[in-house]
Amino acid sequence: MEYISNKHFTLEKITQNVYAAIAKEGSGSVANAGFVDLGDKVIVFDTFNTQQASADLKNATEKVTGKSVTLVVNSHWHGDHIRGNQTFKGSNIISSETTFQIMKENHPLRIKKQKEDIEGLSNYITSLEKSLKENHDDNIQKQISFLIELKQSLPTLELVLPNQTFQRELLFSGSTCSAKLFTLGGGHSICDSVLYIPEDKIIFMGDLLFVNCHPTIFEESNVNQWIGILKEIEQLDFEVAIPGHGTVGRKKDLTKLINYFNEMKSVIKEYDSIEEIELPSRYSNWSSPEVYFQNLKILHKNNKEG
């Protein structure tokens, strides 16, 4: 496997047609992305959290393929997958209709508030830098680096919405391979889309898949639907799954995530208080262990309300 590395991501060659851009911690990327060369057109999957990172993605894509980016997919509405859209204004940007509507409703105000509070962000970065001097911590250093990238992006950040939407699926035929973009509804977010390249047996999963790191469950997440979507995707013929976060995975990583969710649901029913629950040893080597307990709180709350 070939690798190309820059400040924001490591570009991994999966096949002749498919590359995964794996995010580096503390950079302007935050989530993974990638691209597919269909021969006569190029699809970029997700655009990172900042325009600095997405500019590097565009440059890497054009350098590797020798072609301009034709199509851009937004897998779901979360900022770390769409805020780099402005880099690809000349391309056709595609999302599900639901993703488009939520982006349109939520991001303008969010971005406006962040732009208006750059001074507050600067002060927060300064406070973290003071903490780092007193107690050197790699996590604090990564947080500072990430926030500096965010601050750099804000003055020129522009929300660019998809200019094409779909309901269930879209098919793309190329001269070397084809791709299928589809959604089975919402699991991680209100609506999650994946890109399947059957000839190469590869699927871009967005945040429906986390590999060797704890998945983020939000208030909007529906774990039961998430499990159902993963089980349905498992039936497809693929060997490589590119996650929204974590390292490049395999089909077995979907099974691991299904088991993770089912075990977490069982644990919540077993204990009266989530404070009694400990992190299972089989997940202790996954990054971001604190997310496990955040997930427990959300599932516990949803379980009580349900």
Mean pLDDT, residues 60-74? 97
Whether pLDDT at 120 is above 80: yes
Amino acid letter, residue 306: G
Note the pLDDT of residue 148.
98
Average pLDDT of the chain, as a whole number: 95
Give CA–CA dist 127/114, Å, rounded: 18
Whether pLDDT at 39 is above 90: yes
Note the pLDDT of residue 306.
53
pLDDT in tens, 245-294: 999 999 999 999 999 999 999 988 887 778 888 899 999 999 999 999 99
- The residue written with tokens 């590999």 in the block is 211
Note the pLDDT of residue 58.
98
Mean pLDDT, residues 166-192? 97
Mean pLDDT, residues 9-19? 97
Whether pLDDT at 126 is above 90: yes
CATH architecture of residue range(s) 3-103+160-258: 4-Layer Sandwich (3.60)
- How would you list the strands of the sheet with 71-73, edge to edge? 3-5, 9-13, 18-23, 33-37, 42-45, 71-73, 92-96, 164-166
Mean pLDDT, residues 34-59? 98
Note the pLDDT of residue 1.
65
Note the pLDDT of residue 128.
96
With 0-12 CB in 10 A as exposed, 13-18 as middle and 19+ as buried, what is 202?
buried
Whether pLDDT at 305 is above 70: no
pLDDT in tens, 208-255: 999 999 999 999 999 999 999 999 999 999 999 999 999 999 999 999
Whether pLDDT at 100 is above 90: yes
- Domains of the chain, by residue range, sit at 3-103+160-258, 105-156, 264-305
Whether pLDDT at 180 is above 80: yes
Whether pLDDT at 36 is above 90: yes
Q: How confident is the model at residue 304 (pLDDT cuts 50, 70, 90)?
A: low
Note the pLDDT of residue 276.
82
Phi-psi region of 266 (alpha: psi -120 to 50; beta: other; left: phi over 0): alpha
Whether pLDDT at 303 is above 90: no
Could you tell me whether strands 193-197 and 202-211 are parallel, antiparallel, or unpaired per DSSP bridges?
Answer: antiparallel
